């Protein structure tokens, strides 16, 4: 009887162990985190978690900052939406691809460009690794290349809605001979339309919320591209009411600021289609433009809050990485104009925020970083293999362990062979003809005094020169910026042939 009992016990143990091994074999691995990818057009660092300029009211940006990590010194790889977004989505620098201007979404990757012909765009990399991908709004320059997303909600054309009667700036830079040749901007400001539901961004957020309420059988990558705060600076009146005109500050401005700028820098800053600070001061419009920009920021903040509410109320709240970024900064009178389009601090610096599993909460990092790092950072946070063609570096170790803070730097390129480097509290700019600018932000945060010839900084300048891109590709054939005289001339000179400027009324650049 004892032998029978022992035999029975052994059989039971054997069966139990087999079942246990089978359970181990069939046990599902923890699911990959989802990704909520949010782009905000033309957003500078005035939001309340970073500088809070002129009492900016952006409580939902604060909320996102409390959820994760805010980079207060992040820089774009081009101070213009098209090449900036192409760089982020390809993981390649503009100096590598030659994409220095606006390139149709479907022409970024093609046989004619050896750097991009086989590139895998960021959303595609996630799809290739088992993700369901979705996107809506302005994510690439216009919306997205065909077939990049499994689901694409598209994008409303332009940057409306527009009132029937508008004031649109119609200036033409410093040269009378350029009048009418390079088009005009869509720069305008005022309270319009009547309510938020008429804004394209509101509809994009509705689409995003509906996707967050769905069930998925795989992790998802969900992209949302806001159109505001891009001009025209139109949002409903209630957002203007949050920023009374008599409380508005204007940013620092020096009338003779550009006296020590090299000729190429002046040419780049000659923007026929943008208002000048001198004009805004003389007409009393400066505070009104700043008010409108702050109103647009508060509106985007409201829409961001709707998205964060939907995420928090969804089943994905604890397993979703959120990244929010902008394609460049925006000058609101600094250096003489209202535009991005420069290698100075206010044009290259933009918000970058991450939140999600295994990231610190409420942390701020002041070291220089690059938007180029978004691609590799999202891959590491998601547990995906690194993409060997990424030229940016992951920020995960910096966020989690403060690694690399001392050696951090950021490079911005504007046209062929024009570069800026930000590191250790300094900015170094070198133009295609070798002319230079150098600023010590410790003593000159507004970049008013070009110290390039000051022997005190010679060693620092030489050090920073060593980080200039070694590769400077010619302009990509499909990449153009025909609304700026310097870039029209540079492409024609470097690539050969002629590029005819295009006269466009209400050009949204």
Question: 4-56 pLDDT, tens per residue?
Answer: 555 445 544 454 555 544 444 434 455 899 999 999 999 999 999 999 999 99
pLDDT over 90 for what percent of the chain?
A: 84
CB atoms within 10 A of CB 157: 10
Q: Can you list the domains of the chain with their CATH numbers?
A: 31-495 (3.40.720.10)
Task: Compute CA 45 distance to the chain's CA centroid, rounded to the nearest angstrom.
Answer: 11
Q: What is the average per-residue pLDDT within 407-427?
A: 98
Residue 509: the pLDDT is: 37
Contact criterion met (CB below 8 Å) for 335 and 269? yes
pLDDT over 70 for what percent of the chain?
A: 88
Tens-place pLDDT, residues 70-80: 999 999 999 99
3-state secondary structure 273-337: CCCEHHHHHHHCCHHHHHHHHHHHHHHHHHHHHHHHHHHHCCCCCCCEEEEEEECCCCEECHHHE
For residue 178, pLDDT over 90 is answered with: no
Name which residue leads in pLDDT, 439 or 483.
439
Residue 507: the pLDDT is: 38
For residue 287, pLDDT over 80 is answered with: yes
Residue 166: the pLDDT is: 83
Strand arrangement, sheet containing 132-137: 151-152, 132-137, 220-226, 34-40, 320-326, 352-355, 68-71, 363-365
The mean predicted confidence, pLDDT, of the chain is 91
Residue 271: the pLDDT is: 86
For residue 150, pLDDT over 60 is answered with: yes
Residue 23: the pLDDT is: 42
Residue 81 host element (H or E) = helix 81-90
Q: What is the average per-residue pLDDT within 175-197?
A: 76
Distances in whole angstroms, Cα of residue 410 to Cα of each of 86, 93, 355, 421: 17, 11, 22, 6
CB atoms within 10 A of CB 70: 25
Contact criterion met (CB below 8 Å) for 351 and 324? yes
Q: Which residues pair with 421 in a beta bridge?
A: 411, 428
The model carries a pTM of 0.91
Q: What is the average per-residue pLDDT within 229-246?
A: 97
For residue 238, pLDDT over 80 is answered with: yes
Tens-place pLDDT, residues 211-229: 999 999 999 999 999 999 9
Residue 81 annotated in active site: yes
Q: Which of 75, 132, 141, 230 is catalytic?
A: 141
Q: Which of 102-116, 147-161, 420-434, 494-508 has the lowest mean pLDDT?
A: 494-508
Residue 167: the pLDDT is: 75
Q: Which residues pair with 436 in a beta bridge?
A: 430
CB atoms within 10 A of CB 346: 23
Q: Which of 289-298, 361-370, 411-420, 475-484 has the lowest mean pLDDT?
A: 475-484
Residue 24: the pLDDT is: 42
Residue 141 annotated in active site: yes
Tens-place pLDDT, residues 290-346: 999 999 999 999 999 999 999 999 999 999 999 999 999 999 999 999 999 999 999
Residue 484: the pLDDT is: 83
Contact criterion met (CB below 8 Å) for 180 and 172? yes
- Residue 404 neighbours by CB under 8 Å, 6+ apart: 367, 393, 397, 398
Using CA atoms, how far apart are residues 274 and 158, in angstroms rounded to an integer?
Answer: 18
Give CB contacts under 8 A, 24+ apart, made by 448-455: 448/254, 448/257, 449/260, 450/260, 450/261
Q: Which of 6-10, 166-170, 191-195, 347-351 has the lowest mean pLDDT?
A: 6-10
3-state secondary structure 417-440: CCEEEEECCEEEEECCCCCEEEEE
Q: Which of 81, 230, 328, 419 is catalytic?
A: 81
Using CA atoms, how far apart are residues 57 and 297, in angstroms rounded to an integer?
Answer: 8
């Amino acid at each position: 009887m004892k032998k029978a009992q022992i035999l029975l016990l052994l059989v039971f143990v054997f069966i139990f162990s087999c079942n246990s091994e089978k359970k181990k074999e069939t046990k599902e691995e923890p699911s990959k985190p989802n990704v909520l990818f949010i782009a905000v057009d033309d957003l500078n660092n005035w939001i309340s978690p970073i500088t809070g300029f002129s009492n900016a009211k952006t409580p939902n940006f604060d909320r996102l900052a409390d959820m994760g990590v805010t980079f207060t010194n992040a820089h774009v790889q081009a101070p213009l939406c098209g090449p900036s977004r192409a760089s982020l989505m390809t993981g390649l620098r503009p100096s590598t691809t030659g994409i220095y201007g606006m390139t149709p979404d479907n022409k970024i990757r093609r046989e004619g460009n050896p750097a991009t012909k086989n590139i895998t765009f960021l959303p595609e990399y996630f799809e290739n690794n088992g993700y369901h991908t979705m996107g809506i709004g302005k994510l690439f320059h216009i919306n997205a290349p065909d077939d990049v997303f499994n689901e694409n909600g598209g994008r409303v054309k332009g940057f409306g809605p527009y009132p029937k009667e508008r004031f649109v700036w119609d200036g033409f830079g410093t040269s009378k001979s350029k009048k009418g040749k390079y088009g005009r901007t869509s720069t305008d400001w005022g309270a319009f339309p009547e309510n938020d539901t008429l804004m394209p961004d509101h509809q994009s957020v509705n689409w995003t919320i509906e996707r967050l309420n769905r069930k998925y059988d795989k992790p998802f990558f969900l992209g949302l591209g806001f159109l505001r705060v891009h001009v025209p600076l139109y949002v409903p009146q209630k957002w203007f009411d949050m920023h009374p005109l008599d409380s508005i500050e204007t940013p620092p401005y020096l009338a003779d600021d550009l006296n020590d700028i090299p000729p190429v820098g002046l040419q780049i800053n000659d923007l026929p289609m943008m208002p000048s600070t001198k004009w805004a001061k003389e007409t009393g419009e400066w505070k009104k433009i700043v008010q409108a920009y702050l109103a647009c920021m508060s509106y985007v903040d409201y829409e961001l809050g709707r998205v964060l509410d939907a995420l928090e109320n969804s089943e994905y709240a604890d397993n979703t990485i959120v990244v929010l970024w902008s394609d460049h900064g925006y000058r609101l009178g600094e250096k003489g104009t209202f535009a991005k389009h420069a290698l100075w601090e206010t044009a290259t610096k933009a918000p970058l925020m991450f939140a999600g599993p295994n990231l610190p909460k409420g942390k701020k990092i002041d070291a220089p970083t690059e938007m180029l790092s978004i691609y590799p950072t999202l891959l590491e946070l998601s547990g995906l293999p690194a993409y060997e063609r990424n030229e940016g570096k992951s920020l995960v170790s910096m966020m989690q362990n403060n690694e690399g803070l001392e050696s951090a730097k950021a490079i911005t390129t504007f046209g062929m062979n024009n570069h800026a480097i930000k590191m250790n509290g300094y900015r170094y700019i070198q133009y295609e003809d070798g002319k230079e600018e150098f600023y010590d932000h410790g003593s000159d945060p507004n970049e008013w005094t070009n110290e390039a010839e000051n022997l005190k900084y010679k060693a620092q300048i030489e050090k920073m020169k060593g980080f200039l891109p070694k590769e400077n590709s010619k302009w990509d054939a499909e990449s153009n910026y025909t609304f700026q005289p310097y870039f029209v001339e540079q492409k024609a000179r470097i690539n050969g042939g002629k590029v005819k400027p295009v006269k466009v009324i209400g050009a949204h650049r």
